[in-house]
């Protein structure tokens, strides 16, 4: 059974760093923690995306299909997010994700995010701004990798 997220813990997560205590309390009631065994598939490239994950404990490896099979493109650790694009657009997953050890992940469903968007647009705007900063940082890191090719 999923466990409730302590809003005090949410203060430590970059995605929620701009939220005040009242806003964190609201968010904590809309999300939950789920435990996954090592090598659990969270999502598969090409499938619809409905969930953003935040690594609480453990980690997630991200894989991309290539002409030679699968290539690991990222390792997501505690405090980091994965699956963020699934909250933003209705496109299929751009990669696959599997836990690399027994893991505890905070789960934010698209349905919950949309409920926050409708009932608390100020909170949703703060979360979206944090998402944009995270995505922008990842894109800049990817750009730097191509500079060395």
What's the pLDDT tens digit per position in 7-42? 788 888 999 999 999 999 999 999 999 999 999 999
Could you tell me the residue ranges of all domains in the chain?
Answer: 3-25+33-107+119-130
User: What's residue 148's pLDDT?
Assistant: 75
> Considering Cα of 87, then 112, then 107, then 122, what sign does the dihedral take?
positive
- Comparing 139 with 104, which gets the higher pLDDT? 104
Cα distances (angstroms) measured from residue 119 to each of 13, 25, 26, 27, 122: 22, 14, 10, 11, 9
From CA 24, how far away is CA 6, in angstroms rounded? 9
Rg (the chain; Cα; Å)? 15
State the pTM of this model.
0.89
Start-to-end Cα distance in the chain:
46
Lowest mean pLDDT among 2-6, 27-31, 110-114: 2-6
pLDDT band for position 52 (cuts 50, 70, 90)? very high
- Comparing 89 with 103, which gets the higher pLDDT? 103
Give residue 102's Cα distance to chain centre.
17
Residue 4 has pLDDT above 90, yes or no: no
Q: Does domain 3-25+33-107+119-130 have CATH number 3.40.1800.10?
A: no
């Amino acid at each position: 059974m999923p466990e409730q997220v302590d809003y005090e813990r949410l203060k430590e997560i970059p995605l929620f760093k701009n939220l005040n205590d009242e806003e964190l309390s609201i968010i904590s009631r809309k999300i939950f923690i789920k435990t996954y065994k090592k090598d659990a598939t969270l999502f598969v490239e090409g499938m619809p995306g409905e969930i953003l994950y935040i690594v609480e404990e453990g980690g997630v490896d991200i894989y991309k299909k290539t002409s030679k099979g699968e290539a690991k493109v990222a390792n997501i650790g505690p405090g980091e997010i994965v699956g963020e694009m699934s909250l933003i657009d209705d496109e299929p997953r751009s990669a696959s994700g599997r836990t690399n050890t027994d893991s505890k992940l905070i789960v934010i469903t698209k349905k919950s995010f949309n409920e926050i968007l409708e009932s608390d647009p100020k909170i949703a705007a703060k979360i979206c701004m944090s998402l944009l900063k995270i995505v922008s940082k990842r894109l800049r890191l990817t750009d730097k990798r191509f500079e060395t090719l």
